[in-house]
Amino acid sequence: MQLKELQFELPSELIAQRPAEPRDASRLLVLERSTGRVEHRAFRDFREYMRPGDCLVLNDTRVIPARFFCRRVSGGRIEGLYLHETGGLWRVLLRPASRLKVGERLACLNGDCELVLRERRERGEWDVRPEPAIEPLKLLRRIGQTPLPPYIHRPDKPDAEDARRYQTVYARRVGAVAAPTAGLHFTPELFERLREAGITMLNLTLHVGVGTFAPISIEDLAQHDMHAEYYEIDARTIAKLDKTRAAGGRIVAVGTTSVRVLESLESELGSGDVPETSRSGWTNIFIYPPYRFRNVDLLLTNFHLPGSTLLALIMAFAGIEEARAAYAAAIERRYRFYSYGDAMLLV
């Protein structure tokens, strides 16, 4: 597949700047993959497309206040995004980064801490050492902000409403620097209605990284170096998913992040050949057409950026032309796009 196949024109006014209120008041485009038929619904109608015995797979990662600011000795302001910690070193994204040097010390704004630049990585990433040593979350809770994507504009900084709404109602495991946005539409009341209808919900974890929003920069997708993200799925969840599939229930992935975990499993669920052991680690699976999905039957997702790995995954699941037609219909009907936007269900 070529990068140009992932491009489309989106009017800027369709990029959602605020989420729908309440959460399940967002719109839902339903695409029937086998026929290409499109329906236009409200998200609160989601239950109508589920069957007793189906299972929703939710990514329970919790977004951390990963965005922060520092100053150089010269007085220059640096924006930072915390990514993860390894062996006492923090991996951070710094901007602007071109003139930064190894050994330089950045003073964190609103926090009695400095970041010592240890090693330059690719794409503006650095390994840094905090002085004095401090746990990342302890510092970020003092100095950090909600890491909204760059296409969501705020005149000053993300507000308290962003801190609440850029988080799913089931977020539990801290570690993401971006929200699994397909889950932002669910409410506790909708979950209760789903349970009453015989649908089960299971959690896994994938800590969404900054690479989720990184554009593909090479024309041949087969040459793209996919970012890795840390995931966990326990043995009990795997066993329940296996039994769901074997009994004829459908596995409904809520978001592309859930898809990446499910498709990273070595075996096909429902095959009777799935080891009931927990899985964890880093996955860099890159899904693009053609791809045979083994462990996902339905997919709930938001509308994604042109030229993104997420759109490539949607085209692999829905079909290239079917996905294009659905996106064209969404634009024509003035759906709201991206993280705070509306949803699409692929059945």
CA dihedral 73, 77, 80, 85 (to 10 degrees): 10
- 263 and 328 fall within a common domain: yes
pLDDT given for residue 271 in this prediction: 86
In a domain, 219, yes or no: yes
In a domain, 52, yes or no: yes
217 band by pLDDT with thresholds 50, 70 and 90: confident
Distance from C-alpha of 152 to C-alpha of 291, rounded to nearest angstrom: 32
Q: Is the pLDDT of residue 214 over 80?
A: no
Radius of gyration of the chain from its Cα atoms, rounded to whole angstroms: 21
* Percent of the chain whose pLDDT exceeds 70: 99
pLDDT given for residue 275 in this prediction: 79
- 199 and 305 fall within a common domain: yes
pLDDT given for residue 207 in this prediction: 96
Q: Is the pLDDT of residue 325 over 90?
A: yes
216 band by pLDDT with thresholds 50, 70 and 90: confident
- 199 and 301 fall within a common domain: yes
Q: Is the pLDDT of residue 289 over 80?
A: yes
In a domain, 238, yes or no: yes
Compute the average pLDDT of residues 168-188: 97
- 96 and 209 fall within a common domain: no
87 band by pLDDT with thresholds 50, 70 and 90: confident
Interval 29-73: pLDDT, tens: 999 999 999 999 999 999 999 999 999 999 999 999 999 999 999
pLDDT given for residue 191 in this prediction: 98
pLDDT given for residue 276 in this prediction: 76
Cβ count within 10 A of residue 71: 13
- 48 and 71 fall within a common domain: no
**Residue 325: which domain range?**
3-63+163-346
- 92 and 218 fall within a common domain: no
Q: What is the CATH number of the domain that holds 98?
A: 2.40.10.240
Interval 297-319: pLDDT, tens: 999 999 999 999 999 999 999 99
Q: What is the CATH number of the domain that holds 18?
A: 3.40.1780.10
Cβ count within 10 A of residue 324: 16
| 8 Å CB contact between 232 and 279 | yes
| 8 Å CB contact between 17 and 340 | yes
- 53 and 169 fall within a common domain: yes
- 25 and 120 fall within a common domain: no
Q: Is the pLDDT of residue 212 over 80?
A: no
pLDDT given for residue 243 in this prediction: 95
Q: Is the pLDDT of residue 232 over 90?
A: yes
| 8 Å CB contact between 251 and 297 | yes
In this structure, what token pair is assigned to residue 288? 């693009």
In a domain, 150, yes or no: no
> What is the pLDDT of the chain when averaged over all its residues?
95
pLDDT given for residue 210 in this prediction: 80
111 band by pLDDT with thresholds 50, 70 and 90: confident
Final residue before a domain boundary, out of 113, 143, 173: 143
Taking phi first (over 0 means left), then psi (-120 to 50 degrees means alpha), and beta for anything else, what does residue 318 get?
alpha
pLDDT given for residue 274 in this prediction: 79
In a domain, 197, yes or no: yes
- 59 and 71 fall within a common domain: no
Q: Report CA-CA distances (Å) from 252 to 302, 303, 329.
A: 14, 17, 23
Q: How many domains does the chain have?
A: 2
Distance from C-alpha of 17 to C-alpha of 266, rounded to nearest angstrom: 39
Distance from C-alpha of 111 to C-alpha of 276, rounded to nearest angstrom: 45
273 band by pLDDT with thresholds 50, 70 and 90: confident
* Burial per residue of 135-144, b for 16 or more beta-carbon CB atoms within 10 angstroms, e otherwise: ebbebbeebb
pLDDT given for residue 6 in this prediction: 95
Interval 153-168: pLDDT, tens: 999 899 999 999 999 9
Higher-pLDDT residue of 213, 333 = 333
Compute the average pLDDT of residues 189-199: 98
Q: Residue 338 forms beta bridges with which residues?
A: none
Compute the average pLDDT of residues 220-232: 91
In a domain, 237, yes or no: yes
pLDDT given for residue 225 in this prediction: 86
In a domain, 148, yes or no: no
Q: Is the pLDDT of residue 3 over 80?
A: yes
- 90 and 210 fall within a common domain: no
Compute the average pLDDT of residues 125-154: 94
- 50 and 82 fall within a common domain: no
CA–CA–CA angle 42, 182, 298 (5° rounding): 80
* Percent of the chain whose pLDDT exceeds 90: 89
DSSP state of 215: P
pLDDT given for residue 215 in this prediction: 76
Cis omega (within 30 of 0) on the bond before 188?
Answer: no
- 277 and 200 fall within a common domain: yes
